[in-house]
Amino acid sequence: MRWDLRLVASQFSNIVTKLRARDGAEVGTYRVGTRPVAVLFDGSNIWVSNLVSGTVTKLRPRDGALLGTFHTGTTPGDMAFDGTNLWVANRDGDRVTKLRAADGAIVGTYPVGARPMGLAFDGAHIWVANNMDGTITKLRASDGFAVGTFPAGESPFGLAFDGTNIWITNFFADSVTKLRARDGAKVGTFYVGSSPARLIYDGTNIWVTNNGSDNVVVLRKKNGSILRTYGAGKDPFGIAFDGVNIWVANSGDNTVSSSISLL
C-alpha cells in the first residue's frame, strides 16, 4: 500500500508534521515526546523516536491519534522495522532495543558498538552503524545475536539496503561505503560530498544527503559513480522515497524539499 503522505519530525518543537505527498500541503501537526529525531512507518502505524524523553511514540497515520508511548532506553534515535518488531538505536547506551510493534513491549536489548546511529533491515538481519568506533554490527533479527562486526569509514551514520548490499554514510570522511550483506565484505568506498548524513535506495539508485554541501547526490548502485547532483535546502539531513518523489528534510532552514525521481 502506498500512502500519499509524509511525516516530518520537528525536533525542537516536539511535534511531527504531516504533509500530503502530491503537493506538500500541510495536513496536520501532532505532539509527541521531547526532541523527536526519527520517524518510521511500519505499514500500519507511524513511530517517532523521542531522543530526550527516552521513548517512542506510536501514532495512527490517518488522523495522528496517539496509540501509545513506550520506553526504549537511553537517547533513542534511528529505527528499523523487521515486519513484526521495531528496532531502536540507543545512542548513548551503546545498545539497540527490540519492541513488539503490536503492543510496544520490549522483546530484548542487545549490545552493539559505540554510539549506534543508523539502522537497516535486510530481510533477516538488523545492521547498526556504530558512529564512534567506525564499525557496522550485524544482528540476527530473530534473537539479536551478533553475527559480525565490520569496519566502515570515519563516523558511520546512515544505512540503506539495496537488496544485496548495505550502504553506509561516513559523515566525517565525505564518503559512502558499500558492504556485501551476506558476509560484510567491503565492495567499495565512494566520495560523495561534504558530510553525508542519510541515504535511501529507490529501487534503482542510491540517494545521499550531503549535510555540509547543501545537495543530494544520486549514485549508481552497481559501481557507486555519481549520476546526478541536486541542490537542496540548508543542511539537508533526512531523506525518504514515497514511490514517486524524493523528500529531503533541511535541518538548517526548517523546510522539506521534494523532487521527482527521473532516473
Q: What is the structure's pLDDT at 248?
A: 87
Q: Which residues, in sequence order, are CB contacts of 5 under 8 Å at separation 6+?
A: 18, 19, 20, 21, 27, 61
Q: What is the pTM of this model?
A: 0.93
Q: How confident is the model at residue 9 (pLDDT cuts 50, 70, 90)?
A: low
Please, what are the domains in the chain?
1-111 (2.130.10.10)
Contact status, residue 246 vs residue 201, Cβ threshold 8 Å: no
- How far CA 63 is from CA of 18, 28, 46, 59, in Å, comes to 9, 8, 11, 8
CA max distance for the chain: 44
pLDDT in tens, 64-77: 999 999 999 999 99
Mean per-residue pLDDT of the chain: 91
Among the ranges given (26-40, 44-58, 181-195), the one the predictor scored with the smallest mean pLDDT: 26-40
Average pLDDT over residues 204-218: 96
Q: Residue 144 is placed in which grid cell?
A: 539479536
Q: What is the structure's pLDDT at 153?
A: 92
Contact status, residue 239 vs residue 249, Cβ threshold 8 Å: yes
- How far CA 146 is from CA of 12, 117, 126, 169, in Å, comes to 34, 17, 9, 21
CA distance 250 to 211: 8
Q: Where are the beta strands (DSSP E) in 1-104?
A: 5-10, 15-20, 26-31, 36-41, 46-50, 55-59, 66-71, 76-81, 85-90, 95-100
Question: Is the confidence at residue 11, as pLDDT, over 70?
Answer: no
